[in-house]
Structure 1
Amino acid sequence: MTDTVYLAAVRESYDTVAADYAASVKAPAELDPLSRAMLAAFAELVQTTVGGSVADVGCGPGKVTAHLTELGLSAFGVDVSPKMIELAREAYPDLRFAVGSMTALEIGDHDLGGILAYYSTHHTPPELLPVVFAEFHRTLAPGGHLMLVCRVGKDEHLRRTIAYGDRSAPFESYRLPADRISELLDQAGLVVTARLVQALDEGVKGTIASFMVRKPE
């Protein structure tokens, strides 16, 4: 699958469900203690080392972007869905949001102190993840930090015919083993410094993994 094909499908689906998604997605204050702690640790790592701007890629309606600014970061959001960006701008008019793709970020080389990819890479076909991780490497400053959070599994390709109550917004997603994701990050020249694997909430099947990653100086 080419990046053009999958990005068009993701854009259309999220544009369709944007309002329902924004209403249903948890605010950072409602997350579990470990997830909140990981976000706080990421913010501290960026602030106490390289500093600089932080891109929240796949920012959706901007709730986590706003949380990063509350943690003291100079954060802005990027999302492939124009409707999501519209909602983010309405909710947080003082913050910066832009339509864009993580496969080709409109950000200069070495410009970022940090990147947050919070449940935003799982729609990317596995063969295109090296492109995404190469973009993360390109845009991060030496010593910069990436926090990547995603659901993991056993090379699963999942198809949903209903998303956020809408039958017209199908989604395809992928779950890779955590070890495979670590390998791909390493191949992109990024170093995994910590990895947290958690079971999801009771009654929800699956596992999530949070990766703390650093670009070597």
Structure 2
Amino acid sequence: MNKNSINTWNADLYDDKISFVSEYGKEVVRLLNPQEGEHILDIGCGTGDLTREIADAGALPLGIDLSSSMIEKARQKYPDLSFIVADASTFHTDQVFDAAFSNAALHWMKQPEDVIASVWHLLKPGGRFVAEFGGKGNVQIIIDSITEVLSEYGISAAERNPWYFPSIGEYSMLLEQQGFHVRYAVHFARPTPLHDGERGLTHWLESFSDDFFHDFNPAQKETIFQKIIQKAKPHLYRNGKWTADYKRLRIAAIKE
């Protein structure tokens, strides 16, 4: 995750209420197409579910994540796999990889040039980089709702926003400047149902929005969350379920 983010990761909540992250990521694993014996770096591996998918294909993955609680949970769930706490923007090792993979993590890393350079140096020639993460316009209704509520407290949400949601052109340019050949890139809307009915957006805010509310106490946060929910509800709540307005960027690039 982004080294500048102060988001506190609750690994149990992540697995219980935010498990859709890994479920959708299985499509990205298929795009990666891991092969028997390949060494693959899983960037922002979370609690390891997709690292497991990669290993089940016969590859030899290494999962990295900046969150120690996520890595601890991943090691508990999958003790036969390798996980380490590491910052993707500065990660170095003598090992070289056939591929690098990332799902729902790169938008937490606000130094994209550093991450791309790190991946480049870790890949062998011909190695591939396959990722999906938040693209331009991702969760814009939620962000707008947060922005409106924080403005009531004299706080600029933009100054606290921990996310990087680029366009296809912006991210492809960064990859090409590093020397990657971008062979596939798509930006698409993916409305995403949130688990647990009426509490779906509450779980989402509890999981992902610490950076916006780090200096509020729990009671204040609860009040703020309710205000955000009321603003977002006409747009994102239907028939007893919340659906987040996700926009995703999926890319595949080759180190030539």
Distance 2:71 2:22 in 1: 21
> Match for 1:200 among 160, 183, 190?
190
Question: Of 130, 142, 153, which aligns to 2:113?
Answer: 130
Q: Structure 1 residues 174, 62: closer, same or farther in 2, change over 3 A?
A: same
Stretches of structure 1 lacking an aligned partner (at least 5 in a row): 162-169
Higher relative contact order (CA 8 A, sep 6+): 2
Conserved? CA contact 1:118–1:149, under 8 Å: yes
Residue 38 of structure 1, CA deviation: 3.8
| Secondary structure of the corresponding residue to residue 174 of structure 1 | coil
Mean Cα deviation higher: 198-207 or 57-66: 198-207
The count of corresponding residues between Structure 1 and Structure 2 is: 191
The whole-number CA distance in structure 1 between the counterparts of 2:39 and 2:121 is: 14
Q: Output the CA distance in 1 between the equivalents of 2:161 and 2:75.
A: 24
TM-score where L is the length of structure 2: 0.66
Contact 2:139 2:244 in 1 (8 A): no
Local SS of the residue matching 1:13: coil
Corresponding residue for 2:198?
none
What's the TM-score, normalizing by structure 1?
A: 0.77
2:249 is aligned, of 209, 213, 217, to 209
Which secondary structure state, in structure 2, belongs to the residue aligned with residue 56 of structure 1?
strand
Q: 1:24 aligns with which of 9, 12, 17?
A: 17
CA distance in 2, matches of 1:212, 1:85: 26
2:46 is matched with 60
Between the aligned residues of both structures, percent identity stands at 23
Q: What SS class does the counterpart of residue 250 from structure 2 fall into? A: strand
RMSD: 2.9
Give 3-state SS (helix, strand or coil) of 1:173's partner: coil
Provide the residue aligned with 2:71 in structure 1.
Answer: 85
CA contact (8 A) 2:63 2:82 kept: yes
Larger Rg: 2
The aligned counterpart of 1:115 is 100
Q: Is the 8 A contact 2:29 2:50 kept in 1?
A: no
- Select the structure that is richer in helix: 2
Higher normalized strand content (fraction of residues): 1
Q: 1:145 aligns with which of 128, 150, 153?
A: 128
